């Protein structure tokens, strides 16, 4: 058996191989049993083996399910969302197969479909998954517009997807009797082509909340010159009334150095005439919108009074 080639294949498949792959590299049922018996390999699923000391991961479990299913099985719904990086946790593995197939796998939630085109399939980190637009469409019936908005923002920010592509795929899969992804459509209605979701989930949430409240959209990452001549960027800004919005999300502001630098920059903005509004993820959308609206109204009143 060509152990080196098999190990290379396992590395590309998150540490797992199939019985058929082992046989194709010159192995046999006896060699498989020997390696399992001596602890060199472990069974992941019937006919699927973990080669060597590959650590157990979610990707490994997902790959084992995909290999056990065959060529026309795709991770879907929350599992696909996790593979795409839209969510951190996904619960039970979910799988989509052709509507004519009957697939049963222990611990796996299997879904069947009669409407699946080649554009609905993708591969992420070696895992066969539903495409990003199809994943969002499939998730929508069980999610509200706010949740779908966050997922769309993550897809735009991290995967560079165009909202028009999602909209076109909705039109393509829509058919009589099918569930309408209304929450996704509502989320897309607030995000025109070229929409910038900001650099963090909190920025995305603030932008979506302001749009839903019909409050003027601020500029993302507005550049200003600091007193020492260096460039700085305001998370969200209204340059005309000089109102700066800082989204204090943990991912970008969670270290002491960042914390200190953010405060220095805020002080500099105040000295330059900016009003600085700071929001955290714990603050409700209603509060964020109310504060921004009041700040804009106050700036307009001050301008009129001059």
Return d(Cα 192, Cα 114) in angstroms, integer.
31
Query: Above pLDDT 70, what percent of the chain?
Result: 92
Digit-coded pLDDT (tens) for 22-42: 999 999 999 999 999 999 999
Digit-coded pLDDT (tens) for 54-109: 889 999 999 999 999 987 899 999 999 999 999 999 899 999 998 788 888 999 99
The domain over range 201-305 is classified in CATH as 3.40.960.10: yes
Residue 250 above 70 pLDDT? no
Q: Given this model, what pLDDT does residue 249 score? A: 63
Domain with CATH 3.40.960.10 in the chain: 201-305
Return d(Cα 242, Cα 300) in angstroms, integer.
11
The reported pTM is 0.72
């Amino acid at each position: 058996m060509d152990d080196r080639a098999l190990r290379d294949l396992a590395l590309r498949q998150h540490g797992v191989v199939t019985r058929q792959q082992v046989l194709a590299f010159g192995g046999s049922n006896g060699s498989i049993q020997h390696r399992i018996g001596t602890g060199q390999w472990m069974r992941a699923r019937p006919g699927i083996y973990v080669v060597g000391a590959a650590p157990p991961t979610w990707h490994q479990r997902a790959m084992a399910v995909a290999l056990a299913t065959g060529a026309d099985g795709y991770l879907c719904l929350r599992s696909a969302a996790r593979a795409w990086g839209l969510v951190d946790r996904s619960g039970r593995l979910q799988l989509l197969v052709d509507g004519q197939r009957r697939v049963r796998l222990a611990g796996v939630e299997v879904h069947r479909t009669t409407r699946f085109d080649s554009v609905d399939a993708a591969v992420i980190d070696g895992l066969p998954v539903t495409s990003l637009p199809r994943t969002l469409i499939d998730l929508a019936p069980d999610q509200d517009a706010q949740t779908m908005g966050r997922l769309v923002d993550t897809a735009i920010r991290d995967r560079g997807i165009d909202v028009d592509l999602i909209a076109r795929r909705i039109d393509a899969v829509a058919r009589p009797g099918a569930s309408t992804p209304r929450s996704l459509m509502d989320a897309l209605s607030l995000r025109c082509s070229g929409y910038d979701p900001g650099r963090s989930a909190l920025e995305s949430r603030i932008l979506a909340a302001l749009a839903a409240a019909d409050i003027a959209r601020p500029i993302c990452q507005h550049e200003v010159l600091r007193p020492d001549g260096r460039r700085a960027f305001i998370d969200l800004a209204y340059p005309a009334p000089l109102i700066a919005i800082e989204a204090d999300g943990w991912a970008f502001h969670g270290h002491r150095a960042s914390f200190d630098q953010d405060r220095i920059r805020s002080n500099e903005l105040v000295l330059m005439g900016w009003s600085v509004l700071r929001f955290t993820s714990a603050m409700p959308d209603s509060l964020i919108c109310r504060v921004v609206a009041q700040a804009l109204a106050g700036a307009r009143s001050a301008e009129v009074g001059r």
